[in-house]
Amino acid sequence: GIQVEQSPPDLILQEGANSTLRCNFSDSVNNLQWFHQNPWGQLINLFYIPSGTKQNGRLSATTVATERYSLLYISSSQTTDSGVYFCAVGIYNQGGKLIFGQGTELSVKP
Amino acid sequence: DADVTQTPRNRITKTGKRIMLECSQTKGHDRMYWYRQDPGLGLRLIYYSFDVKDINKGEISDGYSVSRQAQAKFSLSLESAIPNQTALYFCATSLAGGETQYFGPGTRLLVL
């Protein structure tokens, strides 16, 4: 099955700093989503981005499908950005189920 | 109002008990999913359903069963709970297989 690897596993930032999170996947995919899991466990959709680039405020994401990776950029980080960021991928012929990476745990210090 | 709701939000039960976790959605999506998250890990798929008559096992279905009572409702049952089923359980929905999945708030389950 598809393997999804995220890096780095942990990241500590000072408030205001920028960061890049990476997601590598082992096969072609039709679905790629980025999620933020907040300290209360809630999963928040950030991007649906099987290819291309999207931006939403201080966050942006780029997926290069041909090279099987996706990047999540966080600019001017805030303490509320803390939590775990997950990348998940899916394939149409596998029922649309998502395969999750292990996540990147981000801690933003004031 | 939340589009995907889960009940209960927290549950403590004892080994051997049968429990049911419920998921409801108002998004009108055909596809529904149950995932499990263990501490420090990503989510893993338990079961998924394309519609009321189509239910499929995921990668970790042993010890679980599901029921799709209607398009909007998908329940997960633990027939005889065991401690290693202690986890955070998420329900999700999507319009189709390659579309965005929307997750509920999760149910924290502790099996003693």
- The rounded distance, in Å, linking the Cα atoms of A23 and A101 is 8
- Asked if B96's CB is within 8 angstroms of A96's CB, the reply is yes
Taking only the tens place, the pLDDT of each residue in A29-84 is 888 999 999 988 899 999 999 999 999 999 999 999 999 999 999 999 999 999 99
How many contacts, defined by CB atoms under 8 Å, are there between A and B?
Answer: 67
B97 confidence band (pLDDT: 50, 70, 90): low
pLDDT at B100 > cutoff 60: yes
Q: What per-residue confidence (pLDDT) applies to A96?
A: 73
Name the residue with higher pLDDT: A94 or A99: A99
Residues of B with Cβ-Cβ distance to A43 under 8 angstroms: 90, 103, 106
Tens of pLDDT, residue by residue over B21-48, are 999 999 999 999 999 999 888 899 999 9
Instruction: Please name the member of A41, A45, A101 whose beta carbon is closest to the beta carbon of B100.
Output: A45
Residues 6+ apart with CB under 8 A from A67: none
The CA–CA distances, whole Å, from B104 to A35, B9, B10 equal 13, 10, 13
